[in-house]
Structure 1
Amino acid sequence: MLAGALVASPAGAQPKAQAKAKAKWAISWRQEFVGYGAPSAKYWNAHNGNGVNGYGHKALQYYDPANAQLNGNGQLVLTAEKKRNGKACWNGPCQYVSGRVDTRDLFSHGYGRFVARMKLPTGVGLWPAFWMQTVDKRRSQYAEIDVVETIGNEPNRVQGFAHTAKGKVAAGSLLLKKPLSAGYHNYSVEWTPKGIVWRVDGRKYASLKKYKGWTFNKKMFLILNLQVGGEWPGKPNAATRFPARMSIDWIRIYKRVG
């Protein structure tokens, strides 16, 4: 019988609509981060540098591949440190180093359920993020889904966003009882042709419905980074603890089936 069809009823009884089938997901791609050293070059690029004008928003860190490493306990760790490395940042000699990796030109995925189990650092001036950008390089077709990005001066707040070339089109947040640095959480989005839903530990806290001019219909690549400073989080202060670590336990992507 087709899902959603009406079930035949005895004479005199009212027919009841069958409950809509629950969406099913099958694993499509996963990363478990086993071992030591650099993450697999088959899937991950490690950034090196401070970008243009601090990646466009005056970030203070210099990304060094040595600060994005597997720790031997099953996690990829992005480490932010307060130290000089002899390199130049947009504002002069770099004062911080950190880690950033992405799957640009190596791996991309379309609609699906994206989940990362991570422990995020907190502290003024820290900006950890797991996000995605479209592979399509045409500016008019740009789309970005921030599975989670949050700032360390709001230690209990989970935040997720969506952007296009025209700007921000969705935003949501949720306050947890404990700081994000207190333990691991599952940060996820369900991205389908109908829209996007943001969750933390399975709890929905934001959504975006498909709209006219929808550009969230192309494959995206993944980005993990731990930024220091910038226009949103501001500069670290004396209370910000270094080294700060963003620990990624695993990433799993699911395709909808059935």
Structure 2
Amino acid sequence: MRFPRSRFRVAALLAAGAALLGTAVLQSPADARTPGDDAAAQAMAPQATIWEDNFDGPSGQGPDQSKWRFDIGGGGWGNNERQYYTNSTRNAALDGGGNLVITARRESGGFQCHYGTCEYTSARLLTAQTFTQTYGRFEARIKIPGTQGVWPAFWMLGGGNWPTDGEIDIMENIGREPNTVHGTLHGPGYSGEGGIGASYQSPNGQPFRNDFHTYAVDWAPDSITWYVDGVQFQRRTPADLGGRQWVYNHPFFMIMNVAVGGYWPGYPDGSTVMPQSMVVDYVRVSTLGSSGGGGGQITGLAGKCLDVAGANAADGTTVQLYDCNGSNAQKWTRPGDGTIRALGKCLDVANAGVADGTRVQIATCNGNAAQQWTYSGARDLVNPRANKCLDVTGNNAANATPTQIWTCGGGANQKWTV
């Protein structure tokens, strides 16, 4: 039996000249599923690495600033935490052996926390300003710390409007539960104690802190599946939300941190040993094979296909509606990185426009937001940056009618079967 717990988290997303605020509140022990409960939940083979950090470099060097930035401060982070997060190499540095070490220390460093002079320092690293991604396998090989009052985590946020933008907790552990890790979703109407998640128990009875383990999620448009060392322990789909909104079809960023104290883990006591370190071997994001396949038709208005005009692979070629004919100009893949591809190019909003009527084309894949698409349960293909739908111009079902982006209105000319 598991008992309700309270956890509150605030994510301050800091970058030079800019700040983004996100808040996360605590989960309850939601219903867990065993791997056998859902035969559809099979491991999806990762296809290609999109982003990774192997933490190669000399001992004492800070993390790569082109990949990781820092949250800094000691305001309690919404959880009444006791640490001050710094950007010091005393709290986050490479060990010279291919690992990043995030260390929580019993020290003030002269910092002021919400309760007075800080008693602890630690670090919280995030990719909000350097890398965001929609869908894929997100994984890290980590040796977690473990002592009363310490709370390591590897997780993701979908933006600064919490819980509306969503939160995916890939791995959390609290010191008083050495043999247990948790994975949880937070979204509108199921945040805080209503978070939907499950725990995973060490299969050999050994505390997770004793060794490295790989913690991962496979995130697809309509499912998120959790693994520890390749063993699936939970899968969630929109059906698990009881009619509440699935908010996992837009880019998220990653966070790694070690908190000290807080409502959920409790606080250091006489048994607590400091310092405590989380050692990270690698963090990797890959595409998923199940999101792509060999390419297939995308059908829309009047049953016609999304088509690259003239089967022309040149940048800027219009994407149109046309009778389905099985040609390569109508074979679209979704490799799991948020893009939709044909003829080796990406479905692209021309000039990264956001206005109604902006033309849709193919262009060389470049990773920008004009090439990100999400597919909703309502069969809309949405460009999240513009917050507009892929639209058949003029609701015209004639062959060669061009596509555009337009404010989502629910019309048949914005409905697609992928």
TM-score (norm 2): 0.54
Shift of 1:165: 3.4
For structure 2, the residue ranges without an aligned partner over 5 or more in a row are 1-41, 294-418
Query: Contact (CA 8 Å) 1:46, 1:68: kept in 2 or not?
Result: no
Is 1:62 paired with 2:88? no
Query: Contact (CA 8 Å) 2:55, 2:282: kept in 1 or not?
Result: yes
Question: Residues of 1 paired with 2:236 and 2:44: CA distance?
Answer: 18
Aligned to 2:78, the other structure's residue is in SS state: helix
Change (3 A) 1:85 1:195: same
Is 1:156 paired with 2:188? no
Shift of 1:169: 3.9
Task: Among all aligned residue pairs of Structure 1 and Structure 2, give the percentage whose two residues are the same amino acid.
Answer: 37
Aligned to 1:178: 206
Query: Contact (CA 8 Å) 2:62, 2:93: kept in 1 or not?
Result: yes
Aligned to 1:77, the other structure's residue is in SS state: strand
221, 226, 230: which one aligns with 2:253: 221
Which protein, 1 or 2, shows the higher relative CO under an 8 Å CA cutoff with sep ≥ 6? Answer: 1
Shift of 1:238: 1.4
Aligned to 2:283: 251
Change (3 A) 1:198 1:25: same
Q: Which amino acid aligns with 2:142?
A: M
Question: Residues of 2 paired with 1:254 and 1:75: CA distance?
Answer: 20
Q: Deviations over 1:135-180 (max 9, x none)?
A: 3x44563200000011011001011111013314421111111111
Aligned to 1:126: 150
Aligned to 1:105: 129
Question: Residues of 2 paired with 1:186 and 1:115: CA distance?
Answer: 7
Give the structure with the larger strand fraction: 1
Change (3 A) 1:22 1:201: closer
Is 1:75 paired with 2:99? yes
Q: Deviations over 1:53-100 (max 9, x none)?
A: x00110100011121111111111110111121111011110001111
Q: Deviations over 1:101-150 (max 9, x none)?
A: 10112111111111100000111100000000003x44563200000011
Q: How many residues align?
A: 235
CA RMSD of aligned residues (A): 1.6
TM-score (norm 1): 0.87
Is 1:29 paired with 2:51? yes
70, 82, 87: which one aligns with 1:46: 70
For structure 1, the residue ranges without an aligned partner over 5 or more in a row are 1-20
Aligned to 2:395: none
Question: Residues of 2 paired with 1:78 and 1:124: CA distance?
Answer: 17
Q: Which amino acid aligns with 1:149?
A: E
Question: Residues of 2 paired with 1:24 and 1:199: CA distance?
Answer: 13
Question: Residues of 2 paired with 1:201 and 1:22: CA distance?
Answer: 12
Query: Contact (CA 8 Å) 2:69, 2:129: kept in 1 or not?
Result: no
Range with greater deviation from structure 2 (222-231 or 81-90) = 81-90
209, 215, 218: which one aligns with 1:190: 218
Shift of 1:191: 0.9
Shift of 1:25: 2.0
Query: Contact (CA 8 Å) 1:78, 1:247: kept in 2 or not?
Result: yes
Aligned to 1:217, the other structure's residue is in SS state: coil
Query: Contact (CA 8 Å) 1:76, 1:248: kept in 2 or not?
Result: yes
Q: Which amino acid aligns with 1:175?
A: Q
Which structure: larger Rg? 2
Question: Residues of 1 paired with 2:257 and 2:207: CA distance?
Answer: 19
Aligned to 2:111: 87
Question: Residues of 2 paired with 1:89 and 1:169: CA distance?
Answer: 28
Shift of 1:24: 3.6
Query: Contact (CA 8 Å) 1:228, 1:235: kept in 2 or not?
Result: yes
Aligned to 2:151, the other structure's residue is in SS state: strand
Aligned to 1:58, the other structure's residue is in SS state: coil
Q: Which amino acid aligns with 1:60?
A: R
